[in-house]
Structure formats: structure tokens, C-alpha cells
Amino acid sequence: MIYGNYIAGEWQDPGASGTFPVINPATGEVIAEVACATADDIRRAIDGADAARAAWAATPAIERSVVMRRAAQIMMDRIDELAAILVKEQGKPLAQAKGEITYGCGFIDWFAEEGRRAYGTTIPASVPDKRIVIIRQPIGISVAITPWNFPSLQLLRKLGAALGAGCPMIAKPAELTPLSALEIARAFDEAGLPKGLLSVVCAPEPYEFTDVIMADPRVRAVSFTGSTEVGKLLMRRGADHVKKVSLELGGQAPTIVFEDADLDAVVVETMASKFRNMGQTCVSVNRIYVHESIIDELADRLKAAMAQMPIGDGLEPDTAVGPLVEPAALEKVQRHVDDAVAKGARVVVGGNRATAAHLKSDQFFEPTLLVGVDESMQVMQEETFGPVAPLVPFTDEADVVARANGTPFGLSAYVFTRDINRAIRVSEALEFGTVGINDSTFSAVQAPFGGYKESGLGREGGFLGLDEFMEYKFISIGHVG
């Protein structure tokens, strides 16, 4: 199958500028070729967005919502097909792929309605006969740059907010996983989204894409999800035209398990958070601080739970652990495990590539449990982005909170305790954008999501999500005699 780019409402001839392959990480097979977008293609996408911008901004939000909901329904009607494409390009188990698409479509529905609630306000003036009115307006042309780990969700969340706010969007998916984004374009095209409001350009050379969008003053907002390093680069590049840059970046999430925690809940929640998408999520539990009085018992329980996780192709119905997305990802996971072991950690279970005979590629890594971990090890310093759970002992609350906060990242954190006072105290002391109390699975379209410190800028979803794509205007009305 060969995909062209979707540029300003037209499917590009895929033969025109060469293609790049999309590889199934579970099998090593090429599943599709995708056209490489050129600088001219990207400029055409911006021109198309510029031509469509004013009419969409002027379209009543209730009419915009009809098109958006139709597209979400088309995707939900096609969820089996779309989930299989997602699994093949990215690797996660099929049930998780369906969950991702359902959640993503939930954002389209949410923002279809939020657009109708883009309220302004009036403010009492300081002099008689004056009126102060605040209105919110779409910011203009927006760009989404998305990562490979949630190729459907990350785009749908940004696209819902942009379209709901009244803005066109040009999307650049990750080069490893462009197919889900192109299928999203297909759904919006079929739903009747006016031409120009959405383009999906697949640029295997992202620097060229960045050069074009950052040089064009008509692009007003750039919403990025990905690594902190690239996020910082985009923030710098956005400065020339003072673009609004929203960033959802890396995390290094801590969990703190106090001695009074419900260990059944800890195991269920930690397994879900650690091994969803094989640990390749920005909110994945990466540093598991456990009170020293219960660390052995928790290690035993986690080990038992990890033994129940079949490894395989995500399309197989029983699979709980699929492949990592690319060879470099696997090498990083192995490097982190080896570094921890060299510095004194002990592997309780896992620790290596999975090599069972039924596996068709060498990109599978065993679910791994490490004990005897400390902060000197790479697993504690940077995202492993893989199925590795490091347990670290602690004894003192203030000390563990300081250690949890001792990172440049601040995306998400988790606390397990039955003591409500401690839960409140610790959750408020943690410098993270999301804190789960006895909860590691907090995805919700209605809640704003984002990071503190170097984990990001701005919020996605919830009642704040539209603001990344809107300006506030203050209109001061004087008195004419």
C-alpha cells in the first residue's frame, strides 16, 4: 500500500517525491510506503489553511461540531480496521489500540462541545459609561507535531482542540507511525471537513518541516508532543515570530508506595501504568519508591503479576507485551538494565531481549523487575521508555518527596496510601502536572493534562484545552454622546 500526503483537502500523488517505508516492529515487514512531503507541499498546506481560516472561524461552533462529531463517528465505525493499522505500525496490543482510538475520538466529541462554550466575559469598569468586554478568538493556523507512541490519540487531542477553537491544523506525525494520522485525515475528509482545515504531511526529515513552518508568520500556534530536547528546539525556533508553542514533553514519573498502602491496588495500578504500551508512555511509572518495610512483599507480588504477561505480536488476542517500536528503543532499555546491574541492582525477573520461537522480530524485551536500585543509575535519571520497573527503598516521607521532585521533569506522579492527610500533603508537595492518589490510570477527556518544569508548557484536554488555540481580546467600549 502506498499513501500520499493529505494536503489542503487533496490526496497527493505518492509517486511525485519519493517514499519512505513504515515497518511493523513485530515482524520487521514493510507494511506501507508513504510519500515524503517536500517544502513546497508544506507551503501548500499553509496556503490552504490560510484560505480556509476565516470561514471556519466564522462558522457557528454548533455547525463545526456537527462535522467533528461525524468524523469521530466514522472512526468509531471503522475502529477494527484502524486499530489493526495502529498495531501494525506501532506494536501495542490490539485492545490498547482500540482504547487509544476510542479515547482520541472522545477528545473530538469533547472539543466539538467545548467550542460551543468558548465564553467571554464582562468586567466592571472603573468609570461610568464604560464597558469592558473580553472575547475569545481562534488564534489562526496551527501545527501539530506528534510522537510515535500514541499516533492516533496525540493527533486527535490536538486536532479536536484546534478545530473546536476555530483553527486549521497542519499535522506532522512521527516518521515511524504516519499511517494513523493519514487515516484520521481520511475520516475528516469523508465527514466533509472543508478543504484546507486539515493537512497531514509526512516529512521524514523533520528539520525541513520546522524550517518552513517556523519561517511563516501565518502559523500562529505549534502544539508539540515528544522529547524534551526537540521541544526546547521548537520553543527557540518559535521565538522569531513569537508563535504560541505548547509542549507535552518527557516525564520520569515517580510512584511513592507508603507502608499502609493497599498492595492489591498498588499491583494492579502499577502494572497498568508500567506496562501499557510496553512502558513507552510519558506517564509511565519509572521510579517506584517503596517503604522499606513492604518492598520485599511488593517485589514478590509484582514478579508474580509479570509472569502472567504473554509477549507477542499485538494482533494476537492474548498479547500483553508487544515489541518496542524500533531497534534503538530496545538498545536503550538494555543499556539502562545493564547500567543498573553494573552499579549493584539485582534483576528479579526479565532483564533481556525476549527470544521465544514464536516471536518474528528481535524487538521484544522481557518485562523486567529490578531491586537494589538507587539514584546513581540511568533508570532513575532518564526515561527508559520500556518495560522496566525499578524498586527503590525509602523510610522517610519528606526525604522521598524530595527525591521524587529531584528531577527536571514534572509530568505525572503517583502516591499510594490509606492516610488521607498524607495523601493530600504529599500530592500537593509533588511538583508534577498530574498526581494520582491510589490511581495510575487517570486518562480523562474532561481533565487538563500537562507538565511542570521541563515536562511542558500549556495544557491539553479539559476546560483549558481550547486556550492553546485561542487569543483573549479585551474590548473597551467608551461612551459617545
User: Interface residues with ligand NAD (CB under 6 A)?
Assistant: 145-149, 172, 174-175, 206-207, 209-210, 225-227, 230, 233, 248-251, 282, 383, 411, 451, 456
Count the residues in the chain: 481
250 vs 254, beta carbon nearer ligand NAD: 250
168 vs 231, beta carbon nearer ligand NAD: 231
Give the whole-angstrom CA distance, residue 68 versus residue 39.
29
Residue among 164, 158, 161, 162 at smallest CA distance from 181? 158
166 vs 386, beta carbon nearer ligand NAD: 386
Residue 295 CB, nearest approach to ligand NAD (Å): 27
Which residue number is nearest to ligand NAD in terms of Cβ?
Answer: 226
Residue 126 CB, nearest approach to ligand NAD (Å): 42
Q: Is 454 a catalytic residue?
A: no
49 vs 294, beta carbon nearer ligand NAD: 49
Three-state SS letters, the chain:
CEECCEECCEECCCCCCCEEEEECCCCCCEEEEEECCCHHHHHHHHHHHHHHHHHHHHCCHHHHHHHHHHHHHHHHHCHHHHHHHHHHHHCCCHHHHHHHHHHHHHHHHHHHHHHHHCCCEEECCCCCCCEEEEEEEECCEEEEECCCCCCCHHHHHHHHHHHHHCCCEEEECCCCCCHHHHHHHHHHHHCCCCCCCEEECCCCCHHHHHHHHHHCCCEEEEEEECCHHHHHHHHHHHHHHCCEEEEECCCCEEEEECCCCCHHHHHHHHHHHHHHHHHCCCCCEEEEEEECCCHHHHHHHHHHHHCCCCECCCCCCCCCECCCCCHHHHHHHHHHHHHHHHCCCEEEECCCECCCCCCCCCCCECCEEEECCCCCCHHHHCCCCCCEEEEEEECCHHHHHHHHHCCCEECEEEEECCCHHHHHHHHHHCCCCEEEECCCCCCCCCCCECCEECCEECCECHHHHHHHHEEEEEEEECCCC
Q: Using an 8 Å Cβ cutoff, are 401 and 375 in contact?
A: no
In the numeric block, which cell numbers belong to residue 268?
494492579
Of 114, 248, 269, 454, which residue is the catalytic one?
A: 248
Give the whole-angstrom CA distance, residue 188 versus residue 74.
8
Of 282, 383, 460, 468, which residue is the catalytic one?
A: 282
Phi/psi for 107 (5° steps) reads: -70, -35
Residue 21 CB, nearest approach to ligand NAD (Å): 15
In the numeric block, which cell numbers belong to residue 143?
501545527
Q: Is 183 a catalytic residue?
A: no
Residue 95 CB, nearest approach to ligand NAD (Å): 19
19 vs 149, beta carbon nearer ligand NAD: 149
Residue 132 CB, nearest approach to ligand NAD (Å): 36
Residue 153 CB, nearest approach to ligand NAD (Å): 9
407 vs 417, beta carbon nearer ligand NAD: 407
Query: Count of CB atoms within 10 A of residue 158's CB?
Result: 29
Residue 221 CB, nearest approach to ligand NAD (Å): 15
Query: Count of CB atoms within 10 A of residue 192's CB?
Result: 10
24 vs 177, beta carbon nearer ligand NAD: 177
Residue 127 CB, nearest approach to ligand NAD (Å): 45
Residue 230 CB, nearest approach to ligand NAD (Å): 4
283 vs 302, beta carbon nearer ligand NAD: 283
109 vs 248, beta carbon nearer ligand NAD: 248
Catalytic residue annotation: 248, 282
